[in-house]
Amino acid sequence: MNRVYLHEGDLPFCLGCGHTLIAENVDKALQTLNLDPLDVILVTDIGCHGIIDKSFKTHTVHGLHGRSVALASGISLSLNNPDKKIIVFIGDGGATIGLQHLIDSAHRNFNMTVVLHNNMLYGMTGGQPSELTPLGFKTPTLPEGSTQKGFDMCEVVAAAGASYVCRLMGIGNIADQLAVALGKKGFSLVEVMELCPSYAVKSNPGMKLRQVVEEAGLGIRVYADRDYTGYETEVKTETPSLIDKEKVISCDFTSALKSPARIMISGSAGEGVQAAAEFFARAAIASGLNVTKKGSYPVTVGIGFSSSDIILSPEHILYTGSPSPDYMIITSQDGLDHSLSTIKNMQEGFIFLDESLPVPNTTVPVIRLGFRKLAGNKNAAIFSLLYLAIHQKLFPAEAMLQMLSQSKLAGKADWNALVTMLP
């Protein structure tokens, strides 16, 4: 059978990995259901099974380890559309790390099919045991074999209230059984038993999958097949969009910027760095530019550094990373300490450094300015970005002054006067 939902070419798994059989059979099962690839949302998480994303032509969403069911629950609830098929790929490691998500989602009967890739160990990290590793099963980190019985995920999920639950052997053609689960309404789970040739087979020479499954007492059968009666939870259909609450920024200004400018500002927590970056980003948008802005600060938000990466571009921004900025602004010692490794990697660009700080070791030009002295500690970040906009001709100062005049920062400083103090 030709592939429809999977791209042509090799799949990313080791030779003989059960994940390949599952991916190929999911493709076949979807062909039976004849779904448009863009009506299918595949949600995966960390683990070997999750690296399949790029091979599927469907929508794909990749989450943290063990959280694919949680993500899929959100997608299922927000779409609330039975014509969209949500498929979750999860490993035995992820399924046990995120067990509560599975139980809750099955309990509420959210629309999705979970395909549990049970190779009985953590494949991606080198073969550690999971909570589904059977008694006596050896792994590279447990060469003496597991001393405890893995639990039966089908029993757990069936007991939680799923519409449909079954366990399959990951051998041969399993497309028809997968199609049955994929065709069910509500929460369905298919646990596919498989082996990881790289870690399980090496640790258990001569092992046969059927024998392992049988000795573990895991039934190859349907555990639940219930009529779907709807979500076991209230679904809000009239949830207002959070985006609608955002004020639309009108483009009242223009920018002469011809190519992307990557900016990093680093200062201290509590000195308005994030707010300054936000004003700067909004002013750039008001000048017709595309903008991305990211913030970085310790979890203890009131102490230590606070920094922001901003990209301005006349073109769409397809990559939001900014490993080496064109302009680095440093307004405090915390900011300097945090930025030293970035400064070390800067081969070109400019560093604008508050004059109170020592000059770091760098080949890049360093321009020392009195941001803190002229504007005060709390306004140094905004002042420095205002300076940058004007002196590097990124966009008109008026755009930022307008943003400031409309904010609660309007009366905090005489921004127009500060502009004239710039060297």
Ligand X SMILES: Cc1ncc(C[n+]2csc(CCOP(=O)(O)OP(=O)(O)O)c2C)c(N)n1
Residues contributing to the site for ligand SF4 (CB under 6 A): 13-14, 17, 19, 48, 119, 123-124, 196-199
Pick the closer one to ligand SF4 by CB: 158 or 195. Answer: 195
| Among ligand SF4, ligand X, none, residue 17 binds (CB under 5-8 Å by kind) | ligand SF4
Pick the closer one to ligand X by CB: 112 or 310. Answer: 112
Scanning residues 3 to 62, which ones bind ligand X (CB under 6 A)? 46-49
| Among ligand SF4, ligand X, none, residue 65 binds (CB under 5-8 Å by kind) | ligand X
- Cβ neighbours for 67, distance < 8 A, ≥ 6 positions apart: 45, 94, 98, 101
One residue of 130, 255, 268, 331 binding ligand X per CB under 6 A: 130
Instruction: Return the structure tokens found at 195.
Output: 């082996």
Q: Least distance from C-beta 299 to ligand SF4, angstroms? A: 33
- Do residues 213 and 220 lie in contact, with contact meaning Cβ atoms separated by under 8 Å? yes
At CA 71, angle to CA 65 and CA 72, rounded to 5? 115
| Among ligand SF4, ligand X, none, residue 94 binds (CB under 5-8 Å by kind) | ligand X
| Among ligand SF4, ligand X, none, residue 360 binds (CB under 5-8 Å by kind) | none
Nearest to 291 by CA among 273, 317, 258, 266: 317
Backbone angles phi, psi at 72, to 5 degrees: -65, -35
Please report the beta strands in 74-163, taking only residues with DSSP state E, as ranges in sequence order: 85-91, 112-118, 121-122, 128-129
Pick the closer one to ligand SF4 by CB: 42 or 195. Answer: 195
- Burial (CB < 10 A; 0-12, 13-18, 19+), residue 9, is exposed
Q: Least distance from C-beta 418 to ligand SF4, angstroms? A: 58
Q: Least distance from C-beta 160 to ligand X, angstroms? A: 20
DSSP 56: B
Q: How many residues bind ligand X (CB under 6 A)?
A: 19
| Among ligand X, ligand SF4, none, residue 101 binds (CB under 5-8 Å by kind) | none
- Do residues 159 and 187 lie in contact, with contact meaning Cβ atoms separated by under 8 Å? no
One residue of 125, 322, 356, 377 binding ligand X per CB under 6 A: 125
- Cβ neighbours for 100, distance < 8 A, ≥ 6 positions apart: none
Q: Least distance from C-beta 125 to ligand X, angstroms? A: 4
Q: Least distance from C-beta 53 to ligand SF4, angstroms? A: 14
Q: Least distance from C-beta 182 to ligand SF4, angstroms? A: 23
| Among ligand SF4, ligand X, none, residue 13 binds (CB under 5-8 Å by kind) | ligand SF4
Instruction: Return the structure tokens found at 298.
Output: 């310790």
**Hey, CA dihedral for 252, 272, 418, 408, is it positive or negative?**
positive
Count of C-beta atoms within a 10 Å radius of residue 79: 13
What's the CA gap between 24 and 3, in Å, rounded?
8
Pick the closer one to ligand SF4 by CB: 48 or 175. Answer: 48
Tell me, residue by residue from 85 to 124, as one string, x for binding to ligand X by CB under 6 A and - for no binding.
------xxxx--x-------------------x-x--xxx
| Among ligand SF4, ligand X, none, residue 1 binds (CB under 5-8 Å by kind) | none
Residue nearest to ligand SF4 (CB): 123
306 half-sphere exposure, CB direction, 13 A CA radius: 19
| Among ligand SF4, ligand X, none, residue 312 binds (CB under 5-8 Å by kind) | none
- Do residues 395 and 385 lie in contact, with contact meaning Cβ atoms separated by under 8 Å? no
| Among ligand SF4, ligand X, none, residue 197 binds (CB under 5-8 Å by kind) | ligand SF4
Nearest to 235 by CA among 114, 113, 110, 112: 110
List residues near ligand X by CB under 6 A. Answer: 46-49, 64-66, 91-94, 97, 117, 119, 122-125, 130
